Amino acid sequence: MKPSLASLVVLCAAAFAACDGGDSVATTPDAAADVTPDVAADVTPDAAADVTLEAAADVTPDAAVDVSDVTDVVDAAAPVDAAVDAPADVAPPRDAVAYASCKAILDAGASTGDGVYTITVGGVATPVRCLMSVDGGGWTLVGNFPAHSGTAGVTGWTSGAAVGSSFTDLTRPFKLSDDDINALRTTGFRARGTATLCAQGPCSVDTTLFWRPTCRYASGSTSPDCYTAFRDVGFTVPESATAPCTWHWGLVAADCAMRATMGTSHEGDHVFAGNYSSYVHAYDARSGEDPSVQFWVR
Percentage of the chain with pLDDT > 70? 67
Predicted confidence (pLDDT) per residue in 158-171, tens digit: 999 999 999 999 99
Same domain, 198 and 53: no
| pTM for the model | 0.69
- On whether residue 166 sits in a domain, the answer given is yes
Per-range mean pLDDT, top range of 1-5, 14-18, 22-26, 30-34: 1-5
Count of domains observed in the chain:
2
Q: Does residue 91 sit within a domain?
A: no
Confidence band of 80 (pLDDT split at 50, 70, 90)? very low
Q: Is residue 151 part of a domain?
A: yes
pLDDT confidence tier of residue 92, bands split at 50, 70 and 90 = very low
pLDDT tier for residue 96 given thresholds of 50, 70 and 90: low
Residue 248 lies in a domain: yes
For 198, the domain range is: 96-297
Q: At 222, is the secondary structure helix, strand, or coil?
A: coil
- On whether residue 87 sits in a domain, the answer given is no
Residues 135, 190: contact at Cβ < 8 Å? yes
Of 79, 104, 123, which closes a domain? 79
**Residue range 229-256, pLDDT digits in tens:** 999 999 999 999 899 999 999 999 999 8
| E strand residue ranges, the chain | 115-121, 124-131, 139-145, 174-175, 189-198, 201-211, 229-230, 238-240, 248-254, 260-266, 270-274, 281-283, 292-297
Q: Are residues 178 and 230 in the same domain?
A: yes
Among candidate residues 34, 51, 79, the one where a domain is terminated: 79
In this structure, the answer to whether residues 43 and 124 fall within a common structural domain is: no
Do both 132 and 269 map to the same domain?
yes
What single string gives the DSSP state of each residue in 110-126? Answer: ---SSEEEEEEETTEEE
